[in-house]
Amino acid sequence: MALCCGRRRTVSAPGRPTTISFFKLFSLASRTDLILLAVGVFAAAINGAAFPALSLFMGDFMDEVGTSFATGDVTGVLSNVRTVSLRLVVVAAVAFWSAFAWHAIFTYCSTTITTRIRIEYFRAVLSQDVSWFDQETPAALPSRMNEDIFKVQEAIGYRVGLTVANFFQFAFGYGVGLYRGWQLALVMMSTMPLLTASIAVLSRRIAKKTARAQNFYAEAGAVAEEVLSAMKTVVAFGAEKRETERYGAKLVAARDGEVKAGFHSGVMTGIILLCIFFTYALVFWYGGKLIYDGTNNPSTGEPYNGGNVITVYFACIMATFALGQIAPNISFFIEGKTAGAKIFPLFEVRDDPSRIEPPLSEGPRDSGSRPTMSSIAFRKVTFSYPARPEVEVLSDVSFTINAGEKVAFVGESGSGKSTSVQLLERFYDPTAGEVL
């Protein structure tokens, strides 16, 4: 029986997401992990707030020392030094234990979560039907399990705690600056719009270039595995040079993506440092002007003095420095989200019951049962392979094979002979129609 040949038609296939939500990376965290992560975030917040607190002590110390030297009270200077030293010891102890806590917690949780991700990803791959493997490169899956999941671990590990600590250092630093001298603090914050816009634009560019590079690295890994697994055949045909060039072409394409991503990351870091040093210049100029003009400080009700400027300066400098430390971590978060977009959607597909082979919940099937003798019928079956949805291999095909009959499918290549058998074996389901 000859089946009708395929004809082309246009089908719009949904595109894959290039990134996912950052919190999606924590979707496999257990309740214990979430509790530990909450403790880690709290510890990181305390660690970040500890540094701007130093500026309060330093500003007060400068005022007291200046007053003591002006009055010749040496005893007062020693007393102030002793008090400030004790406060610094307390802050140092708090900073040490809070930093130890968040670093240990985030490292532990990221390791346990990514271990679950590896297991679930491998299990999800094994549960896919044949159509999924038609659209993927099976040889690239081991490389993806190693490289992409490692990028996810980098994104949810200690860098999260470091970013939280830097964020609270930034927020608390500017909070102290606004409290002790809002006029000077606002001048220092004038570079924030440029900084925020630059990070937003360049982060999107880094995400696109990183995703492209990761795809080429996976393809290069697939080529290497294919060649090494058939090394005798490659040598027999003298194809070493050709395979080396094929592997190198993938690496060159990946290199170009990495170079462009690195360029954008460098531009982003450069803009951040430009804003930081420009802020340094502003505070020295404007702080000196406020003291020289005798401008009243609304926070204290007195004219600006050296202690106010020192407090605002160090608080805002620490805040701006913390913001600069956040920038390098952004690229790791972007890479983790990009890698997660190739991993986590597979879990959602696996969670849906397969139409072709439902999960077994009551043990193995009874292999000793006798097959039911009945006819096989195709009723207006239309089918396209998922890898090429624009080509209809079968178009409105109908036939019936009665029990006990022997039927031969005859036709030219591409007419649907093997496809019909694969539909009977439930490797695929028809696009339209029924197989009875």
Which residue, of 242, 274, 291, is where some domain finishes? 291
Instruction: Please indicate, yes or no, whether residues 57 and 177 belong to a single structural domain of this protein.
Output: yes
Number of domains the chain is built from: 3
pTM > 0.95: no
d(CA 379, CA 435): 6
Residues 318 and 158: beta-carbon distance below 8 Å: no
CA dist., res. 196 & res. 191, Å (int) = 9
What is the C-alpha to C-alpha distance for residues 208 and 334, in angstroms, rounded to an integer? 9
Query: Do residues 103 and 346 touch, judged by C-beta distance below 8 A?
Result: no
**Domain region containing 244:** 191-291
CB 28 within 8 A of CB 116: yes
Q: Are 39 and 129 in a shared domain?
A: yes
**Same domain (yes/no): 312, 225:** no
Per residue in 69-94, pLDDT (tens digit) is 666 666 666 777 777 788 888 888 99
Q: Note whether 212 and 174 are same-domain residues.
A: no
Give the domain-ending residue among 291, 316, 338.
291
Percent of the chain whose pLDDT exceeds 90: 12
**Does residue 198 belong to any structural domain of this protein?**
yes
Residue 4 lies in a domain: no
Residues 306 and 338 reside in one and the same domain? yes
Q: Within this chain, do residues 250 and 267 fall inside the same structural domain, yes or no?
A: yes
SS3 25: helix
Domain-terminating residue out of 291, 318, 338: 291
Query: Could you give the angle at the alpha carbon of 299 between the alpha carbons of 294 and 303, nearest 5°?
Result: 15
Q: What is the reported pLDDT for 72?
A: 64
Residue 93 domain-assigned (yes or no): yes
Stated as kind and residue range, the H or E segment containing 302 is: strand 302-303
Please check whether residues 302 and 278 belong to one and the same domain.
no
Position 5 pLDDT exceeds 50: no
Q: How confident is the model at residue 167 (pLDDT cuts 50, 70, 90)?
A: very high
